[in-house]
Amino acid sequence: MALLKDEGVRTAVAYCTHFARMRMRDEITDDQYKELVYRLAAAYKTDAVTLLCGVLIVITGFADRFADILKEKLEAKEV
């Protein structure tokens, strides 16, 4: 948990959490979410924040795809 002692990482986590909530509520699109996270990574310019932002984008992408697959399977069962 040494990373969380870094003020930049804590701030980035807070921002990314906020962006993720906005995305989940469909207040922003996937592209807007990715752009916000990329800009956050560029603003802090530290390896830890860049890595964190990259991981969040990958996780979000997989989560969206997984949700789409589940939705398709549920719709197929209803038919």
Write the single-letter amino acid at 76: A
Residue with tokens 């399977």: 73
7-24 vs 47-78: helix crossing angle, rounded to 10: 20
User: What are the start-end ranges of the H helices in the chain?
Assistant: 7-24, 30-44, 47-78
Reduced to 3 states, what is the DSSP secondary structure of residue 28?
coil
What's the domain range around 16? Answer: 2-78
- Both structure tokens of 22: 């906005």
Model pLDDT for residues 17-70, shown as the tens digit of each residue? 788 788 778 888 878 887 887 787 777 766 767 777 677 777 766 666 666 766
Q: Is the pTM of this model over 0.75?
A: no
- Total domains in the chain come to 1
